[in-house]
Structure 1
C-alpha cells in the first residue's frame, strides 16, 4: 500500500504548512458524496491516530485513515498550476472506475 506525491505537490504542502505554522503533514481521505459515490477530502494532519496509516514522500508526511486507504492505495497526488486563476491538486487514482461529469465525485 502506498500513496505518492509529486515534487510539485510536496512543495505545495510544505508551503501551506509553513504559512499555517503548525501541523505534521497532509491528511487525505474520502467521504460519501455526489452522484458517483465518493469525494476526496484534503486537510491538514494535526495528529495521527491508531486508525491512520502514514507515508512520507519528498519529506512530506501523508496521513490516511484505514477506511479511505483501499480507495486511495496507489494514488499519485500532483499539484498543477495552469495560470494564476487555475491551480490545484490533481488526483491520479488507479482505483477510480467512474467519475461524475462535474468531476466532484468518483466510484471505485
Structure 2
C-alpha cells in the first residue's frame, strides 16, 4: 500500500506544511461528489486520527483515513498548472472511469 508524491507535489506540500503552524502533513482521501461518485480531497492534516494510515516520503507525511484507503491506494499525486490555476492532480489506479470534466471517478466496485 502506498500513496506517492511526484517531486513537484512533494516540494509544494513541504512548503505548505512548513508555512502552516500546527500542520503535520497532507490529508488525502475521497468524498462522494460529482456525477461519477468519488472525488479526491486534499487538506493539511492538523491531527492524526485513530483510523489513519500514514505514509512518509522524504520527510513529508500523507494521512489517509480508513474509508478512503482502498479507493486511493497506489495513487500518484502531482502538482502543476492547468490554465491559470495551480492544482493537485491524481493518477489513481483504482479509478475505472472519470466524468467528462475530470472532477469525479468511479471504481469497478461501484459498477457492481
TM-score normalized by the length of structure 1: 0.92
User: SS state of the match for residue 79, structure 2?
Assistant: strand
Pairwise CA distance, 1:21: 2.6
Q: Which runs of 5+ in 2 are unaligned?
A: 108-112
| Partners of 1:7 and 1:58 within 8 A in 2 | no
Q: Secondary structure at the match of 2:19?
A: helix
Give the corresponding residue for 1:26.
26
CA RMSD, aligned part only? 1.3
2:85 match = 86
Q: How does 1:5-84 map to 2 (within 5 A)?
A: 5-81=5-81
Q: Which runs of 5+ in 1 are unaligned?
A: none
- Which of the pair is proportionally richer in strand? 1
TM-score (norm 2): 0.89
> What is the number of residues matched between the two proteins?
107
